[in-house]
Homo-oligomer: A and B are copies of this chain.
Amino acid sequence: MSETELDQEESLFEAPPMGEQERMVEAILFASAEPVSVADMEARMPHGSDPAEALVHLRKRYEGRGVNLVRVGDAWAIRTATDLGYLMQKETVETRKLSRAAIETLAIIAYHQPVTRAEIEEIRGVSVSRGTIDQLIEMEWIRFGRRRMTPGRPVTFVVTPDFLDHFGLESARDLPGLKELRSAGLLESRPPPGMMPGPELEEEDETGEGQSELFED
C-alpha cells in the first residue's frame, strides 16, 4: 500500500480513542495463547491505532496489581505478579513414617556424631544408600559436619537443632545411653561377650567435640 493511500485511509477511518485502544490491547493480551508483538496487535486493531502507546498506559494500570504486563522478547503478555506465585500451587501434605533404614542411620548419627558414612555402614553392617542420607539432610535433621582430618578427608554427619527440636532433646547428649536403653527394655539381650560397644567406649573424646560442633554454625 502506498503512503498516499495510507494517508487517505487514515483520514477516512479515525483511530479509536486511546481508552478504547487500551481496552483492545487488554483483551487481546488476555485472550491470546501466546505473547503478542506490537506489530501483531496493530494488525488486529482498527486502522490508525497505536498499540505501543496503549501498552504504556495499560502497563501503568497493572502496576502493583495481581497480574502485570510483562515483555517477553519483543512481545507482551499478562502474567501473575511474581509475589503471588504461591497462589498457583495447591499443596497437599502427607505424613509418612520414616523408613527403618533412615531411622537406623539417623540413630547412628545421633549417637556417634560426627560420623562418616563408612562408619555408619560399619555399624549398621549394610551399606547406606545415598537416598537415605539425602532424605535426612532434606528433612534438616542431619547436616554435614567437619571433614575428618584423615586420608580422603571424609565428610562427617551430625544432627541439627531441628532434629533436637523434633525429638524434644536439649542436646544429643540427652539421648539415652545403652545402659538406659537396656534398663528401659529397649535393648533386650546380653551385652556382646567381652566388650560393650557403643559411643561411650570408643568415641568418648570425639563425642565431646561433636556436640559442640552442632551449635557452632
Contacts and interface: CB of A to CB of B under 8 A. Distances in A.
Interface of A: 22-28, 30-33, 43-45, 64-67, 78, 80-81, 84, 87-91
B28 A87 contact: yes
A70 to B, nearest CB: 12
B91 A33 contact: yes
Contact of A23 (B32, B81, B90): B81
B32 A66 contact: no
A146 B32 CA distance: 39
Contact of A25 (B22, B45, B64, B66): B66
B87 A24 contact: yes
Give this chain's copy count: 2
A66 B23 contact: yes
B23 A84 contact: yes
Given A22-B66, A23-B66, A30 B87 contact: no
Contacts of A65: 23, 26
14 contacts: A23-B64, A24-B87, A26-B65, A27-B66, A27-B81, A27-B88, A28-B87, A30-B30, A30-B66, A30-B78, A31-B80, A43-B90, A44-B87, A44-B90
A32 B64 CA distance: 20
B27 A80 contact: yes
Given A22-B66, A23-B66, A27-B84, 17 more contacts: A23-B81, A23-B84, A24-B66, A24-B84, A26-B65, A26-B66, A27-B81, A28-B87, A28-B88, A30-B30, A30-B66, A30-B78, A31-B88, A31-B91, A43-B90, A44-B90, A45-B87
